[in-house]
């Protein structure tokens, strides 16, 4: 039997395995976070505050596209890794191909939405129908959605590779894609003065570049799963199984988009797009804290799924504990940074170019208010970082053991059931000084309420897996006894 790359998830020491699986993903995530900051710097310094406001308005929809791709990718990742752990390579192959087909179907829907709904969405959030922001936002969102097949294939292709233990190619693709994006931002926005169109063009080209690297990895080098569609037939059961595991991840990430939309509607009543810009800036800066944790989860998920499939409970538990320790360490560092230097972090987003009819003094006053408002928000929201580490890893664990309902419910508790009502309540009671407390409130409540359910799901699933394993061993022993008896009978006859 051929030795598969994924076999290392059964045999390699957990510490070495988790580091080798996670570091490439963490590195690529950090590069992606750097791009998000650099992209904003180009817009605020060379195009103006209206460009940054326009991109801030459409950010929830770009997050939603990413959520769809992550949902498909996570579902495929967990299922493929589990089947490889069980030794069923044929089903792993079919799941990988089905995931790409699902990506194409998702893109067709998103393409239609981009052509029809981009402008109405932007106008929903722009006070007094500011024509510049409407124009910038509509152009950016339309192009992003219509060309989103790049980001979808990038994420889905990377997750399929990661399910086999291949973390290097996704790291390279993210690195090359992000650097391409940054280089083209510099070219299109500064010397060519292409403005917002240049920014979205650079983004799309970077995404397509990353996707091409991931897909070509299957063409030029044999992987543990194949993406060859020769003789392939669509089977609905693979769609449903990918969605069964991936839907909680999709909803968890989509909730971030929906929450941002709702918070933007609440913040819409405050002047100068201030609240919306603070929220957008927060998401870009906090990615330097959360992206390493999400990269860690990308490395953790296939290890957990594989060892659950192989009924290696001890290795599963070791992986979970080590990943939790690392995630808590990262979040502690993030909390200290956001508490100690929020003004410095927020000053990155100060605009250097006055809007039409705005004096330099007015711009400076607006920048000062932005930094003060952002620093306060950063300090409040960062209280949520440490409980978020627990929640993210528990959700990841539940997905790996095929408990999507439990994972989904915990995601909904974090990002809908507690957060949205508390946002409206705190805004009503204390306006912008209170609204940001909805994040730590929701994280703590969700963790306290749902952790007992997560523990019960973990025990139930491993009890099921052990029973399945015991049955298989019993069947094998019976078969061996039958074969031994047959051999003995044959020997007697021969004599």
> 376: part of which helix (H) or strand (E)?
helix 360-381
Q: Is residue 383 part of a domain?
A: yes
Rounded CA-CA distance 421/419 in Å is 6
Q: Is residue 491 part of a domain?
A: no
pLDDT over 50 at 386, yes or no: yes
Residue 476 has a pLDDT of 54
Q: Tokens 């059964």 — which residue?
A: 10
Residue 479 has a pLDDT of 57
Q: What is the pLDDT of residues 342-378, one digit of tens each?
A: 999 998 888 888 877 778 888 888 889 889 999 999 9
3 state DSSP class of 402: coil
Highest mean pLDDT among 200-209, 230-239, 431-440 belongs to 200-209
Average pLDDT over residues 423-437: 89
pTM of the model: 0.76
Q: Is residue 495 part of a domain?
A: no
Question: 447-465 burial, b for 16+ CB within 10 Å, e for fewer?
Answer: beebeebbeebbeebbeeb
Choose among 60, 281, 75: nearest CA to 159: 75
Q: Is residue 325 part of a domain?
A: yes
Average pLDDT over residues 6-12: 72
> 226: part of which helix (H) or strand (E)?
none
Residue 127 has a pLDDT of 67
pLDDT over 50 at 482, yes or no: no
* Phi, psi of 213, deg, nearest 5: -65, -45
- Between 480 and 42, the more confident residue is 42
Choose among 175, 373, 180, 148: nearest CA to 279: 373
* C-alpha pair distances (Å), 357 with each of 46, 49, 121, 281, 360: 17, 13, 26, 25, 10
What percentage of the chain exceeds 90 in pLDDT?
37
Choose among 390, 375, 400, 401: nearest CA to 446: 390
Residue 340 has a pLDDT of 95
Residue 112 has a pLDDT of 97
Q: Are 246 and 72 in contact (CB under 8 A)?
A: yes
Q: What is the pLDDT of residues 249-307, one digit of tens each?
A: 787 778 878 888 888 888 877 665 678 888 888 988 998 899 889 889 888 888 888 88
Its domain, for residue 279, covers 5-482
Q: What is the pLDDT of residues 87-123, one digit of tens each?
A: 888 888 899 999 999 999 999 999 999 999 999 999 8
Q: Is residue 493 part of a domain?
A: no
Residue 145 has a pLDDT of 97
**Domains: count for the chain:** 1
pLDDT over 50 at 488, yes or no: no
């Amino acid at each position: 039997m051929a030795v598969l790359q994924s076999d290392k998830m059964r045999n390699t020491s957990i510490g070495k395995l988790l580091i080798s699986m996670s570091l490439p993903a963490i590195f690529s995530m950090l590069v992606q976070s750097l791009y998000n900051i650099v992209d904003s710097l180009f817009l605020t310094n060379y195009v103006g505050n209206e460009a940054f406001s326009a991109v801030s308005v459409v950010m929830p929809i770009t997050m939603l596209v990413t959520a769809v791709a992550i949902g498909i990718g996570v579902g495929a990742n967990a299922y493929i890794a589990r089947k490889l752990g069980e030794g069923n390579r044929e089903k792993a192959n079919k799941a990988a191909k089905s995931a790409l087909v699902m990506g194409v179907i998702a893109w067709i829907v998103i393409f239609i939405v981009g052509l029809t709904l981009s402008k109405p969405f932007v106008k929903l959030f722009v006070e007094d129908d500011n024509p510049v922001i409407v124009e910038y936002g509509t152009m950016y969102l339309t192009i992003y959605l219509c060309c989103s097949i790049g980001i979808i294939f990038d994420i889905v292709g990377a997750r399929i590779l990661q399910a086999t233990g291949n973390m290097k190619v996704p790291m390279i693709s993210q690195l090359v894609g992000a650097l391409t994006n940054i280089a083209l931002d510099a070219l299109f926005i500064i010397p060519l003065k292409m403005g917002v169109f240049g920014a979205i063009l650079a983004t799309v080209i970077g995404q397509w570049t990353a996707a091409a690297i991931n897909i070509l990895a299957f063409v030029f080098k044999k992987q543990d799963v194949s993406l060859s569609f020769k003789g392939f037939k669509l089977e609905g059961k693979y769609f449903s199984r990918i969605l069964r595991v991936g839907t909680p991840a999709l909803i968890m990430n989509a909730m971030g988009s929906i929450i941002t939309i709702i918070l933007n509607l609440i913040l819409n009543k405050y002047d100068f797009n201030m609240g919306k810009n603070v929220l957008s800036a927060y998401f870009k800066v906090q990615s330097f804290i959360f992206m390493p944790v999400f990269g860690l989860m990308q490395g953790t998920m296939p290890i957990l799924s594989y060892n659950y499939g192989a009924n290696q409970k001890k290795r599963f538990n070791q992986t979970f504990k080590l990943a939790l320790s690392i995630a808590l360490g990262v979040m502690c560092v993030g909390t200290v940074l956001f508490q100690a230097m929020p003004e410095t972090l927020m000053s990155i987003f100060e605009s250097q170019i006055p809007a039409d009819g705005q004096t330099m003094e007015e711009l400076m006053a607006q920048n000062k208010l932005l930094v003060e408002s952002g620093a306060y928000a950063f300090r409040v929201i960062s209280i949520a970082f440490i409980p978020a580490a627990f929640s993210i890893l528990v959700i990841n664990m539940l997905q790996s053991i095929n408990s999507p309902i439990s994972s989904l419910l915990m995601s909904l508790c974090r990002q809908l059931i507690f957060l949205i009502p508390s946002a409206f309540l705190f805004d009503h009671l204390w306006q912008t000084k209170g609204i940001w407390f909805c994040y730590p409130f929701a994280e703590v409540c969700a963790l306290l309420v749902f952790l007992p359910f997560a523990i019960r799901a973990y025990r139930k699933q491993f009890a099921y897996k052990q029973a399945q394993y015991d049955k298989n061993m019993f069947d094998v022993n019976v078969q061996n006894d039958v074969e031994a008896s047959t051999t003995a009978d044959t020997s007697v006859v021969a004599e």
